[in-house]
Amino acid sequence: MNQLKKRLQQLPDYDSAIYVSGMIGFNIIIMLLFFETGWNMPTGFGPAADALFILLICFAGNALLFLFANVVCLVLIWLPFRMPKLLTGLVTGAVLLFSKAFTYTNMNVKGAALLTGFMLLFGIASGIFCYLAFSKQPKTLRRRMTISISGLLLGVMVYFITGAYGLHDSSSKPVQQIEPTAIQQVQAENPALAGPYEVRYFTYGSGKDLRRKEFAEEAELITAPVDASAFITNWNKWRTRYWGFDPQSFPLNGRVWLPQGEGPFPVVLIVHGNHTMEDFSDEGYGYLGELLASRGFLTVSIDENFINYSTWTGIPNDDYPLRTWILLQHLQALDQISRTAGNVLFGKADFDKIALIGHSRGGQAAALAADYDTFYRAAGEDEMMANIHYPIDTIIAIAPTDRKLEDKYVKLNDVNYLVLHGSYDSDVTTFDGDRQYDRVSFSDSGASQYMKASLYIEHANHGQFNTTWGKMDIKLPARFLFNTRDMLPEGEQQFIAQTYISAFLESTLHEDKRYIPMFKDWQNAKQWLPETGYLSRFKSSDMVKVADFEEDKEKITASMKRARIAGTQLRTWEEQEKRNRHNVNRLNRAVLLSWNNNAGRYSISLPSRSSSGLSHASSIVFSLAHDSDVALEKQLDFSIQLTTSDGVTVALPMHKIRPIHPVFMSRYLNAGPLAPYVKNGRLKTSTESVFQDYFIPLSEFVTLDKRFDPSRLDKIEWVFDQTATGAVFLDDIYLEE
């Protein structure tokens, strides 16, 4: 007992003034880490409650840490050498605590421990450095050694900062797009400009929502609740206490932007994705609702926050089909309201023209809604779809997920489809909506015209398509890890969404075909778009398919009957399943072509009379993507050579008609060596091999040789004679008559 007393009396000596200064720096960092923890766990009870919770986290966490540190001290005092025992106990406790706490924020234990340790060491070093800078003690050897240690730690910080801001990494530089020689500029007004209609805004809802007064006493229209209990088996009781309802009485809440005119107007529903449920998402699409309503679309943003994730209560099961089901319930409710005299929506909705816009999981829900009959029948839930028979004309997906449900992926037929995605999306890190794009097909009947389009946007992220989600796509304990410097400004990203979504709805619901050129090639709308890189794809039901490499495993056959494929002097000629940046199957076959020494060609011979409908106004269309496994040191180029049945051959290099777009580099994080530990390394600097469609006008070949007759086109060849070496994926070869 006397020995223990003696050790305890010596304890203050081991934590001298210099280490107390380190503890002050430590405590500042700890408060920051606790603040980050509380910030990522909103209570949902308002700013005051959130602030109180953060304060509670900070002070309670500090108290527990100091209690743990004193317990550690009781062990360390028996060691036979001097050391800052209290400080050691604090650091040990903090690293253990935050290594566990931060694993829920997309970091693994090792990464969380490294980040926490680095921040704590920096805080301690900063505190010691300040003490030494202002201390009047003599410059002893110990002091000089401590300064050296502090300098070393500060040097580590400098390394992280320079790595974070690209001072020794050029991967964040914007790509240099090459101008085409000719573009087909859209001959219409900017679709992102407000239209001719005044807009009335109001809400509808249950009339008694505990958390949302706009859907309670402020709601203009009252809707009946719906029973969703068939989908949910793990609804947390605390969700019922928070929201005031359970799955048997889900509310139908929506924000409406109504054009002020006679109507009826096409109906556009917008549904958000999975975000923290206490941080409401439905209000984040007002910038779209206001614009679309001004252009004659009855637009509604749907509230599905109550089935989103919560730090406190998790997420209900089967949320994907549940999101779709609620979306369809809104259609049914709005239909009934619009048929009932005496309310603001009476006679205003045209349910023969419906578009669904979804963001993230909402994007997949929107696609599922267009094929709901097939899915819910497979799931054995036919009764849940009773009396729901709405023709979905158009689907627009913003950075959507694409998960298999009921052991299948959604396949859409005869539906207009548009997908937008950003290269800096650190939530849905791969272009999953492009897989859905490939699964949209059109019938051969030709009775109606449909189209599908995609736009991949350099430097756009996931969250800024919603005004409430912001730049931070995933939760992390220190927000400085995100490379926000290279991201598009929020206003520019939303302007891109406004431009393309508005133009697509004008094309499909208002049947204004003047906007179609901007979907064929984004450069046709370049005068409207913010300065960044884009990749675009487009197909329509009136285009003639030559080859999409899905028909069989034979390299020499094409989708078009009796067409034949050949390749000569190619280093690689292989049809394969294309893969994304994480080496996951894109569920789409394409042909990989590579060459050396300016040699190699790939050709398709067309059957007789297949080109009889071609003219000077026609185009050859194909999709091209870089092989991201091959280092690209310069711009790729090759020639397109066309031969007619009467022997006329004309060749043009791509740079003279439609230059090949460079690959985009995604530098998500300012994390330096910590990047492999964030989201299992999925946010390391990388490229995504994304297709760009090239529409090659036959008029360019006629101009070069007047003897060239498009209606006699016999052979299309890709001749790799412009760049010494290279590798590309080729897909979706079509003729546009």
In the predicted structure, residue 434 carries a pLDDT above the cut 90: yes
Q: By CB neighbour count within 10 A (0-12 exposed, 13-18 middle, 19+ buried), where does 566 fall?
A: middle
So what's the pLDDT on residue 358? 98
pLDDT in tens, 459-471: 999 999 999 998 8
Which three-class secondary structure state does DSSP give residue 132? helix
Beta bridge partners of 692: 624
Nearest-Å Rg of the Cα atoms of the chain is 30
pLDDT in tens, 656-704: 888 888 889 898 988 777 888 888 888 888 888 999 999 999 999 999 9
Are 279 and 303 spatial neighbours (Cβ–Cβ below 8 Å)?
no
Task: Assign 3-class secondary structure to 334-402.
Answer: HHHHHCCCCCCCCCCEEEEEEEEEEECHHHHHHHHHHCHHHHHHHCCCHHHHCCCCCCCCEEEEECCCC
SS3 content of the chain, % helix, strand, coil (to 5): 35, 20, 40
- Percentage of the chain beyond pLDDT 90 is 52
329: CB partners within 8 A, 6+ apart? 226, 252
So what's the pLDDT on residue 13? 42
Kindly state which CATH superfamily the domain 544-736 is placed in. Galactose-binding lectin (2.60.120.430)
In the predicted structure, residue 19 carries a pLDDT above the cut 90: no
In the predicted structure, residue 730 carries a pLDDT above the cut 90: yes
Which three-class secondary structure state does DSSP give residue 252? coil
Q: What is the DSSP string of 62-102?
A: HHHHHHHHHHHHHHHTTSSS---HHHHHHHHHHHHHHHHHG
User: What single-letter amino acid sits at 175?
Assistant: V
In the predicted structure, residue 145 carries a pLDDT above the cut 80: no
What mean pLDDT is predicted for residues 570-597? 91
Element (H, E) at 19: helix 17-39
End-to-end, the C-alpha distance of the chain in Å comes to 97
Element (H, E) at 37: helix 17-39
So what's the pLDDT on residue 474? 82
pLDDT in tens, 377-430: 766 666 666 667 788 999 999 999 999 888 889 999 999 999 999 999 999 999
Confidence tier at 288 by pLDDT (50, 70, 90): very high
Total-model pTM = 0.91
So what's the pLDDT on residue 383? 65
So what's the pLDDT on residue 379? 64
pLDDT in tens, 155-206: 665 555 555 444 434 344 444 444 555 567 788 999 999 999 999 999 999 9
Q: Which carries the bigger pLDDT value, residue 112 or residue 214?
A: 214
pLDDT in tens, 48-81: 888 898 889 888 888 888 888 777 777 776 666 6
CB atoms within 10 A of CB 165: 14
- Percentage of the chain beyond pLDDT 70 is 86
Domain with CATH 3.40.50.1820 in the chain: 199-540
Instruction: List the single range of 132-141, 341-350, 610-619, 629-638 with lowest mean pLDDT.
Output: 132-141
| Average pLDDT over all residues of the chain | 86
So what's the pLDDT on residue 58? 86
The rounded distance, in Å, linking the Cα atoms of 620 and 614 is 10
What mean pLDDT is predicted for residues 11-29? 69
Its sign, for the CA torsion 554, 558, 561, 564, is negative
Both tokens assigned to 317 = 């099961």
What mean pLDDT is predicted for residues 232-252? 92
So what's the pLDDT on residue 104? 65
CATH topology of domain 199-540: Rossmann fold (3.40.50)
68: CB partners within 8 A, 6+ apart? 89, 92, 93
Domain with CATH 2.60.120.430 in the chain: 544-736
Closest CA to 525 of 180, 184, 174, 179: 184
